[in-house]
Amino acid sequence: MNVNAVYLMMRDRYLRDPSWENLLALLGSLLYKFPVLFKAPLPPEEVEGLVKNCGFEVLEVSIKACHGLALTINPARIVRRKLIENLKKGDLPAPEPDLIDKDLARDEIFWKLTECAKREKTGLILIKEGLGPEVKTYALAHELSHHLLGHTLAECEMESWLSELHADVAAHWITGRPSPFLSEEENRLLAKLVGYKKRAVGGHA
């Protein structure tokens, strides 16, 4: 069985129809692509090892808009160019860049992204500097999930709320940890969806 071909087939099916059934099928294909997931929930060091095994570069940077971000390298140049054009055309109506765009366009982050591009590291995970160990582990798993579920691909047209929910489901499965960014009730629901019997608690970060 070609496990990568099965994974890609499940991912394409999921992106066309992000139903609960297709999400579970895609997560199931990940078990065979990355056998370490049979041991889930994983301890922090194995979460970091999985990220490395997947080939994603992790950058700890001073992002302000969120605690983590999964992206491919190409949008960085587009964002930078767009912001410069907006500044040059100040007398013309232009959409206000969102907070994430502003983060990516800041020199301290943008030049790190271009360095990754030179090394042909296209799949990136940005993590906010200064996160505690538990929060960092969850944020890593959440952003890794966005990549593995195909949310960073150009063909993904999923609504953001649904992609965030599915990334939380996957991150909870990978780590067994409650999200530090959700309420206790929301974490209980995640635990129930994933099938963990251990009581999940948490709170808004």
Euclidean distance between CA atoms 201 and 131, whole angstroms: 19
Euclidean distance between CA atoms 137 and 108, whole angstroms: 24
- Which residues fall within 8 angstroms of residue 88, CB to CB, at 6 or more apart? none
Does position 17 have pLDDT exceeding 70, yes or no?
Answer: yes
Amino acid identity at 157: E
Cis peptide before 43 (omega within 30 of 0): no
Taking phi first (over 0 means left), then psi (-120 to 50 degrees means alpha), and beta for anything else, what does residue 56 get? beta
CB 159 within 8 A of CB 82: no
Quote the pLDDT of residue 54: 93
Mean pLDDT over the full length of the chain:
84
Does position 202 have pLDDT exceeding 50, yes or no?
Answer: no
Q: What percent of the chain has pLDDT over 90?
A: 57
Tokens of 27: 């997560």
Specify the pTM: 0.82
Q: Count how many residues are written for the chain.
A: 205
Question: What are the CA-CA distances from residue 41 to residues 68, 77, 89, 94, 135 (Å)?
Answer: 20, 36, 50, 46, 15
- The region of weakest confidence among 95-104, 105-114, 123-132 is 95-104
The 10s digit of each residue's pLDDT in 121-169 is 778 999 999 999 999 999 999 999 999 999 999 899 999 999 999 999 9
- φ, ψ for residue 62, nearest 5 deg: -90, 60
The 10s digit of each residue's pLDDT in 56-77 is 989 998 888 889 989 876 655 5
Residue 18: pLDDT band (50, 70, 90) is very high
Q: What angle do CA 108, 132, 105 make, to 5 degrees?
A: 20
Quote the pLDDT of residue 77: 56
Does position 30 have pLDDT exceeding 90, yes or no?
Answer: yes
Rg (the chain; Cα; Å): 18
- Which residues fall within 8 angstroms of residue 194, CB to CB, at 6 or more apart? 169, 172, 173
